[in-house]
Amino acid sequence: MEKPRVVVSVTTSVDGRVALHRDRPLMTTEDGKVWETLRPPSAQAVEEARDALLERLHSPTVRLEGSGSMVPPSTGPLTGLPPASADEVYEDFVAVDATRWFAVVDGRGRVRWTMKEAGGQHLLVLASRSTPAAYLAHLRRERISYLVAGTQRVDLGAALGRMRSLLGVSCVVSTGGGGLNGALLRAGLVDEIQLIVLPAAIGGLGTPGLFDGPAPADGELPTRLRLLSSHTEADGTLWLRYEVVRSG
């Protein structure tokens, strides 16, 4: 199945860290304020230039995140939802006719959403057939769109293919954490990496990195990259753009 172009677009420390602690997402904890202090004055302008380049080159219509960016990884499925029949909830549900989406991988049904649209982007949850039926029924009642891809967990390749065929998506930008980006990389789904590096080192065993997840299997080769461009600011901000080299 044909998939959209996938661009990983993330800001990291010089040692490739994307957060300060494993169980404290930047979006929802005080760690976000600390992270902001690491950003030199040029960082915002460089990020805006990166976003403008992505728009000019690829016109992305989906921003992709993992649920770990919203809630700690240890958070379990939502509780207190009424039981639901599985007859229809495992069918894709598109509640709105939208052109831009904020897609979140949430196969366990962990996020209780308080927003359905922001900045012209409509919420799209990526689920699997193991996602609790009560959670999918909850999304339907709230008129929140979702796609079901995969059996035991979200099949990212299948989900991307559905975005292409059902929603007409041609480019997806992943701004998520290392778990999502690592899964995309291991599945061979990443086409381009846009990396902004801040002049700070975080360190720490287990601190989330740009591409987290299991180590390469025996015989599995690292993903080779080709540098497309680089940009350096006097205050230490670095912007690197890479293309994934396809074998064969």
Q: What per-residue confidence (pLDDT) applies to 72?
A: 66
- B/e letters for 192-228, b = 16+ CB within 10 Å, e = fewer, are bbbbbbbebebeeeebbbbbbeeeeeeeeeebeeeee
Low-confidence winner among 18-32, 128-142, 207-221 (lowest mean pLDDT):
18-32
Distances (CA, A) of 136 to 67, 81, 178, 195, 221: 15, 10, 26, 34, 38
- Sign (positive or negative) of CA dihedral 107, 108, 110, 113: positive
Angstrom distance (rounded) from CA 28 to CA 86: 32
pTM of the model: 0.93
Cβ(130)–Cβ(107) below 8 Å: yes
Cβ(226)–Cβ(243) below 8 Å: yes
As a residue count, the chain comes to: 248
pLDDT band at 247 (very low <50, low <70, confident <90, very high): confident
Longest dimension (CA), the chain: 59
Cβ(220)–Cβ(213) below 8 Å: no
Within 8 A by CB and 6+ apart from 121, the residues are: 63, 100, 101, 102
Q: Which residues are 12's β-sheet partners?
A: 197
Nearest to 125 by CA among 6, 16, 110: 110
Task: Express each pLDDT in 41-77 by its tens digit.
Answer: 999 999 999 999 999 999 999 999 998 777 767 677 8
Q: What per-residue confidence (pLDDT) applies to 82?
A: 82
Has residue 83 got a pLDDT over 90?
no
Q: Mean pLDDT of all residues in the chain? A: 92
